[in-house]
């Protein structure tokens, strides 16, 4: 069954997810003004799947059930699937100008599917069948699943088992005949509150001493002992202001991150995908990271498309669209954005089947893609801010523009004065100019819009994580041999 956006939102109301924000429990979190824009983002991924124009990108035929499913819950069956994934993510970025939150689950599905197959092959476990049954349920119910990998980590110089507080990494605290009990937390979790289920993975490669930390499983988001603490965003309380509109920039959509705490959560055997097989933790991490770094060649490009359009509008509203340096800056923004897209398509086109049968991207090119994402969006935002001008961060509030308080010698109100002095080209009203500048502020400075600037740096691993993988995958020794062969060194 393919849910609609409205059905998805109603399905969240039936859950008993525990959410905390600003030191208090949020009971009606589905309709909370700070949280709701991120839910709207996810709802778009459902509605687009019902649109005939986008059905080819947004849906796929399940290899598990033969039924049509949302592509966000699909196992990639070809390089064409990998490319459609990137194109779908670009589309969703264009429609929301924010993070639509379902990529982590999709990337987790594909990483866990292939890793459990190879784990079972070595150890005779039943993890792969467990996972297939779980994913069938997800596809049939059309659930959103959060992929949870990042642990708080504590002292980065110590292994999980050597931490002063063992809970700084997710770990097994009890093994029962019918399952396991886990404790710990997952940090920076995108879309976690908006998800029906969570699929947890190890955060790094493990050694034998860390085997209790080599754990992967699925559980519902409202499982007993599980709760979320919502992450702050710049300017998030603007959404709480009465009648807030222009000042929000992107009123309808937004991103979401939270700390997810597992306080002795019981996981039944049928939802366990790894439980101590430490030598496969690294494989699961690398494969998830590869898929997720591919994702950034789509979602960030879609948001970039919108930001480029906003910058072009700002130039037009400022009356500067014909200036040669403005044209050149817009060209550079397009060039950088399309280069990111090229990387996403390239690592997809060079994909290959895993032993389990689903398709994996080219890991080297996926890491090159994400390395570029840690840089190019910063240049794109810099250029957008340059084109927009300083008013983007110095303009008065929306209430000032609407104020009827008289201050001028001829009876002018504060609103009159603001609208007079912040007017620009005749092609736009003062309010339209303010709207586009607030929108650029929203994307560039992260004003309640997690999903572009800083997230481009740290999401799917910070820059050094990709450089480590590029070093491993770069085949430097092979390149040396090429040089030797040409110059005649034996």
In CATH, what number is assigned to the domain containing residue 394? 1.20.140.10
Question: Is 302 domain-assigned?
Answer: yes
Q: Interior CA angle at 189 toward 186 and 191, to 5°?
A: 145
Question: Is 425 domain-assigned?
Answer: yes
Question: Is 271 domain-assigned?
Answer: no
Length of the chain: 490
Q: What pTM value is reported for the model?
A: 0.96
- What sections of 318-429 are H helices per DSSP? 324-349, 363-373, 376-388, 391-394, 398-402, 414-421
* Cβ atoms 154, 207 nearer than 8 A: no
Q: Going by C-beta distance under 8 Å and a sequence separation of 6 or more, which residues neighbour residue 129?
A: 120
**pLDDT at site 447:** 58
Question: Is 368 domain-assigned?
Answer: yes
Q: Going by C-beta distance under 8 Å and a sequence separation of 6 or more, which residues neighbour residue 5?
A: 40, 43, 44, 46, 47
Pairing of strands 226-230, 257-268: antiparallel
Which among 195, 198, 217 is positioned nearest to 45, based on CA atoms? 195
**pLDDT at site 455:** 86
Residue 186 sits at φ, ψ, to 5 deg, of -125, 130
Q: How many independent structural domains does the chain possess? A: 1
Question: Is 117 domain-assigned?
Answer: no
Task: Supply 375's token pair.
Answer: 């840089």
**pLDDT at site 107:** 98
Distance CA 134, CA 132 (A): 5
Question: Is 365 domain-assigned?
Answer: yes
Q: Going by C-beta distance under 8 Å and a sequence separation of 6 or more, which residues neighbour residue 444?
A: 307, 381, 384, 385, 392, 452, 453
Q: Three-class SS of residue 184?
A: strand
Residues marked active site are found at: 99, 103, 190, 257, 292, 296, 299, 455
Question: Is 373 domain-assigned?
Answer: yes
Instruction: Report the chain's terminal Cα–Cα distance, integer Å.
Output: 63
Distance CA 58, CA 81 (A): 11
**pLDDT at site 62:** 98
Burial (CB count within 10 angstroms: exposed 0-12, middle 13-18, buried 19+), residue 201? buried
The series of mean pLDDT values per 10 residues for the chain, 490 residues long, is: 96 98 97 97 98 98 98 98 98 96 97 98 98 98 98 96 97 98 97 97 97 98 98 92 94 94 98 98 97 97 97 97 98 98 98 98 97 96 97 95 95 96 96 96 77 86 93 95 96
Q: What is the domain extent for residue 468?
A: 286-480
Task: Supply 371's token pair.
Answer: 């390395």
Rg over alpha carbons for the chain, rounded to the nearest Å, is 24
Burial (CB count within 10 angstroms: exposed 0-12, middle 13-18, buried 19+), residue 47? middle
**Could you give the strand order of the β-sheet that contains 272-275, starting from the edge strand earlier in sequence?**
145-148, 197-200, 215-220, 272-275
Which among 93, 12, 454 is positioned nearest to 309, based on CA atoms? 93
Which among 289, 296, 280, 295 is positioned nearest to 356, based on CA atoms? 280
Task: Supply 404's token pair.
Answer: 């009827």
Say if residue 116 carries a ligand binding annotation: no
Question: Is 375 domain-assigned?
Answer: yes
Distance CA 246, CA 7 (A): 29
């Amino acid at each position: 069954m393919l849910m609609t956006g409205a059905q998805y939102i109603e399905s969240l109301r039936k859950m008993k997810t525990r959410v905390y924000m600003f030191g208090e429990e949020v009971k009606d979190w589905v309709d909370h003004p700070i949280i709701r824009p991120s839910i709207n983002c996810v709802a778009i991924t459902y509605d687009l799947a019902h649109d005939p124009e986008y059905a080819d990108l947004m849906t796929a035929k399940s290899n598990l059930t033969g039924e049509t499913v949302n592509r966000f819950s699909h196992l990639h069956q070809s390089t064409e699937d990998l490319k459609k994934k990137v194109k779908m993510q670009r589309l969703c970025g264009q429609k929301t100008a924010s993070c639509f939150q379902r990529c982590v689950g999709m990337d987790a599905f594909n990483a866990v599917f292939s890793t459990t197959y190879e784990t079972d092959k070595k150890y005779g476990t039943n993890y792969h069948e467990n996972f297939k049954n779980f994913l069938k349920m997800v596809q049939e119910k059309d659930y959103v699943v959060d992929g949870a990998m990042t642990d708080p980590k504590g002292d980065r110089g110590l292994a999980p088992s050597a931490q002063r507080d063992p809970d700084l990494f997710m770990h097994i605290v009890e093994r029962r005949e019918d399952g396991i009990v886990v404790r710990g937390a997952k940090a920076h979790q995108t879309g976690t509150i908006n998800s029906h289920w969570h699929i947890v993975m190890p955060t790094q490669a493990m050694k034998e001493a860390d085997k209790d930390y080599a754990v992967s499983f699925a559980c519902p988001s409202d499982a007993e002992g599980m709760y979320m603490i919502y992450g702050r965003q710049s300017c998030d309380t603007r959404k709480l202001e009465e009648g807030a509109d222009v000042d929000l920039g992107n009123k309808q959509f937004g991103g979401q991150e939270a700390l997810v705490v597992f306080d002795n959560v019981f996981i039944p055997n049928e939802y366990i995908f790894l439980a101590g097989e430490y030598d496969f933790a690294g494989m699961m991490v690398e494969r998830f990271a590869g898929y997720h770094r591919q994702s950034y060649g789509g979602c960030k490009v879609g948001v970039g498309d919108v930001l480029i359009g906003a910058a072009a509008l700002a130039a037009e509203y400022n009356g500067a669209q014909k200036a040669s340096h403005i044209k050149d800056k817009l060209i550079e923004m397009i060039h950088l954005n399309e280069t990111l897209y090229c990387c996403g398509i390239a690592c997809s086109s060079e994909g290959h089947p895993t032993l389990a049968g689903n398709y994996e991207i080219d890991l080297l090119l996926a890491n090159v893609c994400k390395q570029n994402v840690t840089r190019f969006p910063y240049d794109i935002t810099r250029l957008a801010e340059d084109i927009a001008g300083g008013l983007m961060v110095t303009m008065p509030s929306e209430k000032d523009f609407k104020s009827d308080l008289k201050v001028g010698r001829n009876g002018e109100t504060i609103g009159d004065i603001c609208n007079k002095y912040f007017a620009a080209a005749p092609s736009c009203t003062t309010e339209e100019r303010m709207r586009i500048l607030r929108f650029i502020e929203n994307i560039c400075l992260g004003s309640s819009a997690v999903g572009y600037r800083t997230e481009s740096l740290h999401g799917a691993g910070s820059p050094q994580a990709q450089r480590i993988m590029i070093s491993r995958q770069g085949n430097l020794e092979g390149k040396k041999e090429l040089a030797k062969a040409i110059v005649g060194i034996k």
